[in-house]
Amino acid sequence: MRNSPRWTLRSIPDQSGRVVVVTGANSGIGYVTARELARHGAHVVLACRDPERGQAALARMRGEVPDARLELRRVDLSSLASIRKFASGWDHDRLDLLVNNAGVAMVPFALTADGFESQFGINHLGTFALTGLLLPHLLAAPDPRVVTVSSEGQRFARFDLDNLNAERGYRTAFAYVQAKRANLYFAVELQRRADAAGVRLRSMAVAPGLTRTNVLTGGANSGRGRLYVTATRLLVRVAFRPAPEGAKTSLYAATVPDLLGGGYIVPDGLLQLRGEPTRRTRERATRDTVTAERLWQLSEHLTGVTYELPAAGPTVTVPSPGGRARVR
């Protein structure tokens, strides 16, 4: 069912009183998401890896929304120590909304500080650990939500539980869409577990569609050569939508009052690349409970973060030969 094309950033209801964390809020979709939530009254914590870029984003946002209630806090999703430090330093009485936006895309092979392949380690395991460690603060809120940014590319993933951490080779695009599928599995499984525990928590995944950000040309991708960077920037400028359009699905999932948890919010156009936010109900991955449960247990083991919600399924042993984390 197609939603009204009239849903815009102005449709966001009043967010006064909500305490919000947006990861990767210094640029792109994350920046727009944080800015619009602040514009509508939320107290927004910009959770960023790079303090310098975070400070620049904070100053810019304050210029655009002079009365915004904003904070900047550092978190690096490639480091479990950084994630634990961020969570242990949380000093608000609750957390109403967590937007898991930060991530990397199509980067050359690299390992995180904890020995995980970077796309799996940052996009999924970092998100999993941060959400789990902030869960007590979320459950202290009257109507908490978790919004996790996946990708339309996840539809093309051949999800391989034996190669999540590049144990049997690394292909850039394969690793990216697999990590984004993991985001979807995580978001839906979190809702299933919250429902089973009788916890009032709404967890949703979103796909932004083709969006004009620096994720394909910045960070680790900036060193891939002048030809790659120039060609990719041209493609993004010509074929991709502005960041405010890409942020719509995140903001829709974060703010629409009667939205059901466990959903997948995507653009309603061809191949989920453009269009207005809609709840996709026929995504096969959202019904794959077996894979989602196995991924959840692997994630708990790898990160050392255990959610205080009912667990299901057998314990998984994950050996780490040579100091490098390995999934099996």
The active-site residue, picked from 176, 185, 252, 264, is: 176
CA distances from 199 to 126, 138, 232 (A): 23, 11, 44
Query: 78, 113 in Cβ contact below 8 A?
Result: yes
The helix/strand/coil state of 266 is strand
Query: 300, 307 in Cβ contact below 8 A?
Result: yes
How many helices (DSSP H) and strands (DSSP E) are in the chain? 10, 8
| Active-site residue flag, 176 | yes
Rounded to an integer, what distance in angstroms lies between the CA atom of residue 210 and that of residue 289? 28
Q: How many CA atoms lie within 13 A of 208 on its CB side?
A: 29
Amino acid identity of residue 227, one-letter, is: L
Using the structure block, give the residue that is written with the tokens 């009052």: 257
List the one residue out of 193, 194, 158 whose CA is nearest residue 179.
158
Query: 98, 104 in Cβ contact below 8 A?
Result: no
Q: Give the active site residues.
A: 176
